Structure 1
Amino acid sequence: MQDKILVVEDDHDIAGILKVHLAELSLNVDHVDTAESALQALQQQKYAVLLLDIMLPGMDGLTLCRKIKDKSPEQSILMLTSRSDEMDRIIGLEMGADDYITKPFSTRELQARIKAQLRHVHLLREKHNPKTDIESVYLGKLLINLQSHEIYYDDDTISLTSTEFDLLHFFAKHPNQVFSRTQLLDSVWGYQHSGYEHTVNSHINRLRAKLEQACNTQIIETIWGVGYKLNSSNLIQH
């Protein structure tokens, strides 16, 4: 089945360029130029990935991202930002965006980031497939259900985005092992690109906050100058 991508971009010249680059990946691409049109399109059909510009007329892209993620946290969203607007990129990640790409962008980088998001989407589909024999991961009272794509701690649900889920699952497969931001970009996001380590920082911070609120203990630890690790002893002893 051909994956569908929704481009939300009010600059029709940029949208045309995006459609050409995405067509090279054999993707079915739809385009809308307002947040309101994007919400209507999402009601009519499902999209594997949303390529969402921050600067939109009317409702801005950041607000749209939050609305979509509140309703469908598993929806993959790749934000389009200007290179100078670092704060917008940070806010976008804080609102649940799975990744971002800055303008101007290269064809190779755009396609690599879209393919990385599609890998997440395809893995998620497999996890929802009842024919797939996937076991759950247990760490003390923490349960990672790979088939239903849900997280529980002591029977209480922890709501995570798809990227946060994949990040936690990766840590859970390698408890107490330290990973650099570059290693996490390569293993979880599926690419390496200098200058995008903040993507890891923002997702780590959100994941850590959600886990600490639910589990009342620190699970994801920062090893200064090295990277991050999941401390399984805190889960097992807690």
Structure 2
Amino acid sequence: MQAPDLPAPTRVLVADDEPDLRALLERYLGDHGLAVRTVDGAAAVDRLLARERFDLLVLDVTMPGEDGLALCRRLRAAGETIPILMLTARGDPLDRILGLEMGADDYLAKPFTPRELLARIHALVRRQRMLGAHAGPADAAARVSFGAFVLDLAGRRLVRDGAEVPLSSAEFALLKAFARHPGRTLGRDRLMELAHGRDHAATDRSIDVQVMRLRRVIEADPSAPRYIRTVWGAGYVFVADPGPGG
């Protein structure tokens, strides 16, 4: 009798230049059901991404050569949408904000416990799957049009004038949250909950960075946005039809 198909394990690629940490994470994450590959730098990441599929990428900020921030920015510029979690040994919150600006979905400061990293990985992968295969009935045929854009909620695609616009998982989640609540002012905490779930810890500044990233994708002039507008002291509002002249 043939065994029933089992769900494929979550595939994680970890890039860090510390051999001891790579060995620890490979062993710990593997013991908890993840399929883990570890590498020591950006060149090895490029080689593996070119020939294998991964569900999540963990990048150390301070790798020699092309560091994690530069690699994250390059991958996003090339249209890579895999969720990215940054590891940083620097205590400065500005480094974390910079990671979000480069396109990271989450960050974790060193030193950390492997258990905390595992929880972050599960949260990011769970969000990615909820946005895709587990889209609700309301998303099944939902397409939201604004300006030259069409947001396909079921297909997880943003299209402009017939061409697909690459979005990271975090960018799509945030745009979906806005699109499902047009014309409503959403505070930062509510936006974070809608886009990333209740278990996602973040600061007001981090949601502002994510809004800024999304504006760079959809706004002709991010400094004078038509679609995602700031409501001072309250949060943000999505205006799907700004009308003539915005």
| TM-score after normalising by structure 1 | 0.83
Pick aligned residue for 1:49 from 37, 45, 56: 56
Relative to structure 1, the CA distance from residue 195 to residue 83 in structure 2 (aligned partners, 3 Å threshold; closer, same or farther) is farther
Pick aligned residue for 2:100 from 81, 86, 93: 93
Structure whose CA Rg is larger: 2
Q: Which piece of structure 1 moves more, 146-155 or 96-105?
A: 146-155
Deviation at residue 73 of structure 1 after TM alignment: 2.7
Distance in 2, Cα, partners of 1:173 & 1:21: 39
Give a deviation string over 1:157-202, Cα, whole Å, max 9, x none: 5442221111101111111223232223233222446554333111
Give a deviation string over 1:108-153, Cα, whole Å, max 9, x none: 542332122102332455289xxxx821322444411134432234
Pick aligned residue for 1:5 from 3, 12, 22: 12
Question: Superposition RMSD on alpha carbons, in Å?
Answer: 2.9
Distance in 2, Cα, partners of 1:235 & 1:105: 49
Q: Does 1:35 align with 2:42?
A: yes
Q: Which piece of structure 1 moves more, 110-119 or 15-24?
A: 15-24
Q: Does 1:138 align with 2:144?
A: yes
Identity %: 35
Q: Which has the higher helix share?
A: 1
SS at match of 2:133: helix
Relative to structure 1, the CA distance from residue 121 to residue 195 in structure 2 (aligned partners, 3 Å threshold; closer, same or farther) is closer
Relative to structure 1, the CA distance from residue 107 to residue 32 in structure 2 (aligned partners, 3 Å threshold; closer, same or farther) is closer
**Paired residues, what number?**
234
Q: Which position in structure 2 is the counterpart of 1:231?
A: 239
Q: Which amino acid aligns with 2:235?
A: G
Relative to structure 1, the CA distance from residue 105 to residue 191 in structure 2 (aligned partners, 3 Å threshold; closer, same or farther) is farther
Q: Is the 8 A contact 2:132 2:154 kept in 1?
A: no
Q: Is the 8 A contact 1:112 1:191 kept in 2?
A: no
Q: Is the 8 A contact 1:4 1:47 kept in 2?
A: yes
Q: Is the 8 A contact 2:131 2:173 kept in 1?
A: no
Q: Which piece of structure 1 moves more, 197-206 or 164-173?
A: 197-206
Give unmatched runs, 5+ long, in structure 2: 1-7
Q: Could you list the structure 1 runs, at least 4 aligned residues long, displaced by more than 6 angstroms after superposition.
A: none
Distance in 2, Cα, partners of 1:70 & 1:90: 18
Distance in 2, Cα, partners of 1:112 & 1:7: 15
Q: Does 1:79 align with 2:79?
A: no
Relative to structure 1, the CA distance from residue 147 to residue 233 in structure 2 (aligned partners, 3 Å threshold; closer, same or farther) is closer
Give unmatched runs, 5+ long, in structure 1: none
Q: Which position in structure 2 is the counterpart of 1:172?
A: 179
Give a deviation string over 1:12-40, Cα, whole Å, max 9, x none: 22223433443354211111111111111
Q: Is the 8 A contact 1:93 1:199 kept in 2?
A: yes
